[in-house]
Chains A and B, each alone.
Chain A
Amino acid sequence: MEDGEQIIKEFMYMNRKSPYGTIYALESLEVVLIAAAFDQDVSLVFADDGVYQLMKGQNTEEIGMKNFSPTYSALGDYDIKKIYIEKESLEERGLSLDDLQDLKYEDEDDDWAEKDSIHLVSREELAEVIDQQDVVFSF
């Protein structure tokens, strides 16, 4: 590799667990924020119970744990613009996108217009996206 030349890989973070019951959701978020500093092509998936990580109105006061859900809204500032939510996972749980945080990023190539980071995808579409990745991290 020449000096200054950089290989950019597609990294996907697959989130499949409810927050707070296990440490996976928080650990994933920490790793994602670290990885974002390395200028890689990062995307996040929320499927199965992972969709609960993005629920609006989380209040952890009474369980004595840190509510890390506000951090998801900072992902756009870290240039993470591809957040995939599996539609079937929402449906099985009686949820819709309205129950989840509305995540946005500012597009520097379009006069910093605010755009949606969240992509609602079917199971079939998600399989395609996963197939295109160089690396998938499972949480």
Chain B
Amino acid sequence: MAMLHTVNKSPFEKNSLDSCMRLAKASSAVLLIEDGVVGAMKGTKHSKNVADAMANISFYVLGPDLKARGLSEGNVVDGIKVVDYSGFVDLAAEYESVQAWL
């Protein structure tokens, strides 16, 4: 079953993203929202883990949450797609279920 995982906490503050990446099955997707968008950025000590996980999992990040924090869409890890709120809805509809990691 293909699942959409949402992560709303910074990987610097909580291990939600790590747990999510560890337990998400191949062909599922991860959407980074709220403080979770920090995990999408290039050049951080977490960037490599995310880039590695992208071999099996699709990654998305919510654009409005990047903008709010002054984080540039052009500076996300290569291959992560930036979506807006309607893109969030599309993903929720596309995948069979949604799991929110807190």
Contacts and interface: CB of A to CB of B under 8 A. Distances in A.
B71 to A, nearest CB: 7
Contacts of B70: 52, 55-59, 69, 99
Contacts of A99: 70
Contact of B69 (A55, A61, A92): A55
Interface residues of A, number: 26
B20 to A, nearest CB: 16
Given A18-B35, A22-B35, A49-B35, A62 B69 contact: no
A99 B69 CA distance: 11
A130 to B, nearest CB: 19
Given A18-B35, A52-B38, A55-B69, 12 more contacts: A19-B68, A19-B69, A21-B8, A21-B34, A49-B13, A58-B70, A59-B70, A61-B67, A63-B64, A63-B65, A92-B44, A93-B38
Interface of A: 17-22, 48-49, 52, 55-63, 65, 67, 69, 92-95, 99
16 contacts: A17-B35, A18-B69, A19-B68, A21-B8, A21-B9, A49-B10, A49-B13, A52-B38, A59-B70, A62-B64, A62-B67, A69-B70, A93-B12, A93-B43, A93-B45, A94-B41
